[in-house]
Structure 1
Amino acid sequence: MAQFYSAKRRVTTRQIMTVTVTDLDGSGQGVAHHHGKTLFVSGALPGEQAEVEIVEEKRSWARARTKRLLSTSPERVAPACPYFGRCGGCQQQHASPELQQRSKAKALSRLLSQQIGEPVAVENIIAGSAYGYRRRARLGLHYHARSQTLQMGFRQAASSELVAITQCPVLKPELDALLQPLHQVLSSLQAVRRLGHAELVLADNGPLLVLRHLDPLSAADREKLERFSHSQQVALFLAPDSETLEQIAGEMPFYQLDGLTLTFSPRDFIQVNGELNQQMVAQAMAWLDLQPTDRLLDLFCGMGNFTLPSGKRVENVTGVEGVAALVAKGAYNAGLNNLNNIAFYQHNLEEEVTAQPWAAEGFNKVLLDPARAGAAEAIPHIIKLAPESVVYVSCNPTTLARDSQIFLAAGYRPERITLLDMFPHTGHVESMVLFSRK
């Protein structure tokens, strides 16, 4: 007689405890301690006492969520968004912008100090508007068969589920105003069941829409979308696949920076926060103290966000970027702005650079703006060039701290550190460091 066994279900009892939050980490979680273990508590602020529930536990730390606040911080504020707590886009609308900035600066300073081995202070914080700052948004689209409705919105935190929205206070007002009419027109399409996502971008010459559709659109659907683009004064681009972009209505977008015009494709990377981007570029130019005799190397240059403004000030600039389309756009924009002292090169900066035609040039100053992975492969070559100063723009404090050690070992010192509050209400930390050779 056969016997069948089934594994016993493991019953986990969620621990609930009372703690006092003492700090806020860089990603916006409250920090508390209980029986020698560090707790990271979502939804609680420094100075608050709360009943919390453990949701993940390790040997030396645990994650918890707030069940009930027993006291509240004077820096707790009412979130401006009705979807806060469900939508995964923002994590810190319950904290004042000043608390968010101080906590990120403190976390950045602590991490850099630990890695460098000596106290390092964040010199200043560059901040702008806490709301209405995002000039780009990618909206998920999902047709709900049971209710026969189109859901449009952002993903929940750590989930693929959509939170359907009708407003978003962190978007630029011009984009926020488009959410409801956009949902209406998309819901009316024959292809409503076969839509991928919608992307809204606010350029200096107006908003644009990129619609990803999974099947060819009918003539009637295309006509509806064109009418929408004209009535809402939105440039319209259709994307039948991840490579193709069909311009239906409106002009190609551009933005102004330091008196220059930078055109871009709707799919090109541009900084989401235009106001902070202006301040960031101005700060980098000032830190580098660019002179007419300088030769600047700009690594991970994109389409020239720093390269082109630098070209107005120095003898020549070389920009290096891994994405060929961005290199082509940078070269186009240099010509558009009559900057003849700029050269762009395409190269994967995670690979060896010694044999590259630009690598032997005599650069006396360097700027780098890498992705989250950092610039560990490129920094040894920068050190060989022996520039007098380097500005490192970072979107990941962990890789910035790691890369800072390489500069430190080569005789460079972190002279100035700025926190860039590029993404208020989120856990993202942007920063900029000026390294000078001893």
Structure 2
Amino acid sequence: MAQFYSAKRRVTTRDSLIVTVSDLDPFGQGIARHQGKAIFIPLALPGEEVEITLTDEKKQFARGKLKRIRIASSERQTPRCPYFTTCGGCQQQHASTTLQQQSKASALSHLLRRETGITPPQPTILAGESWQYRRRARLGLQFDNRKRRLVMGFRKASSNDLVAIDHCPVLRPELDALLVPLHHCLNGLRAASRLGHVELVLADNGPLLVLRHLDPLTQDDRTKLERFSHEHQVAVWLAADSESLVALRGDLPWYQLDGLKLTFSPRDFIQVNGTLNRQMVDLAMGWLDVQPQDRVLDLFCGMGNFSLPLAKRAQSVTGVEGVTALVEKAAYNAAENNLSNAGFFVHNLAQPVVNQTWAAQGFNKVLLDPARAGAAGVMAHVAQLRPSHVVYVSCNPTTLARDSQALLSSGYHLENVAMLDMFPHTAHLESMVLFRQK
């Protein structure tokens, strides 16, 4: 029998424990119960009978390590990636896509219900392809002095160490095909020991890479990179530091959305999953029911991912974002798409907005797409505007639930909920909700 120790002491038991898994949390961990405590078990699935060893114990829960599966779930899948469980990128390749989506939707509902005290609508699940979906990836670079070679790959879970990879089944094929020749090219540079990381991006006008180098590159290295660029039809951008970005070869990238062309800098944030981004924008337009007379406020607008589609339908759109470069890109994209009814402003939305000139305009619909920290700084102002519709796009269900309180307590009704399967096989839970006045 397993021994449980005081929460003040670290568990050192090596005894085995046989449990039946009942649930799957959003992070891909199976949940079992023993002696009134929840045990979280990575790689275990609901319905499975498993043998585990306890690795940690707290007052309310414990953690276990999977030793053996005695009875397997019908939802268990063979991971496609040979680096699964070593690479920290994916956590759920062992579970069917259906189980992943259902567990995330269930976790979203549970969290909203627990934090708000209301019963939310059953989430709609928005999903696309579960493989070959990532159009952006950042790979670490480390030089192995002992072997005198460059290691390129993703980081291990909870570690700075790299897992050297030559294939990634969740990358778009155009980017996956670059991994081996890119590693060969970078390993052949004189600056191989002084490289930071490399970012791969697939734009609609082709793939590109951003190479972070710690020292100036020699002309010979630049020539090798130019040759690689020509041979593989990939744009190459050089970053000597976190601020600078110089095109070695290639044009600014862009992607199409809702019949619009959105240009962006290689370092600008864009949604990793292009298919889900299109579905998400379409759903937001439908939920907001945008009419020609509407005046829409788009908070945390970025480079106009929502603002520009909104401007096609509304009388006017005001976008607000804290990053100056993104606001400039949003204004540029509006002008390039002949959308004169969209205006953009720079403001840190964690700070008070009451004295901002844009804040006093009469908006009747609002969209928010904040970062993980949420939108606590503007929720009271949004409620005061009394818009008929509010769409909140979230990459963190905890801050979504917290921010929802401001609207629910101001007489709004949570009308629709969607779980966005933006990152299949990972622990990320993206969502979108619609609030309407009662």
- 1:228-243 aligned at under 5 Å gives the runs 228-243=228-243
CA distance in 2 between counterparts of 1:140 and 1:209 reads: 13
Alignment check: 8 A CA contact 2:11 2:54 kept: no
TM-score of the two chains, using structure 2 as the length reference = 0.97
**1:122–1:419 Cα contact (<8 Å) kept:** no
**1:81-133 Cα deviation digits (max 9, x unpaired):** 00001000000000000000000000100110111212223331000000000
Tell me if the contact between 1:150 and 1:192 (Cα under 8 Å) persists in the aligned partners.
yes
Match of 2:258 in 1: 258
**Shift in Å, 1:282:** 0.2
Equivalent in the alignment of 1:113: 113
Instruction: For residue 70 of structure 1, give the secondary structure of its aligned residue in structure 2.
Output: strand
* 1:306 aligned residue: 306
Matches within 5 A, 1:113-192: 113-192=113-192
CA offsets 1:158-202 (integer angstroms, 9 cap, x no match): 111100000000000000000000000001001111010000000
Amino acid at match of 1:171: L
Alignment of 1:1-400 (within 5 A): 12-400=12-400
Distance in structure 2 (CA, Å) of the matches to 1:55 and 1:364: 53
Measured after TM superposition, the shift of residue 10 of structure 1 is 8.4
After superposition, the C-alpha distances for 1:4-62 in whole angstroms (9 at most, x for unaligned) are xxxxx989334531111001011111010011000111010000011112222110101
- The code of the aligned residue for 2:325 comes to A
Indicate the SS of the match to 2:304.
Answer: coil
| SS of equivalent to 1:82 | coil
Q: Distance in 2 between matches of 1:336 and 1:122?
A: 40
The one-letter code of the counterpart of 1:400 is L
User: After TM superposition, which residue ranges in structure 1, 4 or more long, deviate above 4 angstroms?
Assistant: none
**Partner of 2:13: helix, strand, or coil?**
coil
> Match of 1:17, as an amino acid?
L
Extract unaligned runs of 5+ from structure 2: 1-8
TM-score (norm 1): 0.97
For 2:64, what is the secondary structure of its paired residue? strand
Q: State whether residues 131 and 169 of structure 1, in contact with CA within 8 Å, keep that contact through their aligned partners in structure 2.
A: yes
CA distance, structure 2, for counterparts of residue 432 and residue 153 of structure 1: 32
Provide the rounded CA distance (Å) in 1 between the counterparts of 2:65 and 2:369.
35
Output the CA distance in 2 between the equivalents of 1:103 and 1:212. 38
Percent identical among aligned pairs is 64
Q: Name the SS of the counterpart of 2:360 in structure 1.
A: coil
Q: Which runs of 5+ in 1 are unaligned?
A: 1-8
| Length, aligned pairs only | 430
Aligned to 1:436: 436
Mapped contact 1:238–1:247 kept (Cα < 8 A) = yes
Distance 2:239 2:397 in 1: 35
Aligned-residue offset at 1:306:
0.2
Contact 2:190-2:221 within 8 A present in 1 as well: yes
Distance (whole Å) between structure 2 residues aligned to residue 408 and residue 65 of structure 1: 41
1:377-425: per-residue Cα shift (whole Å, max 9, x none)?
1000001111011000000011111111221111111100011000000
Deviates more, 1:291-300 or 1:108-117: 108-117
Aligned-partner SS, 1:112: helix
CA contact (8 A) 2:383 2:406 kept: no
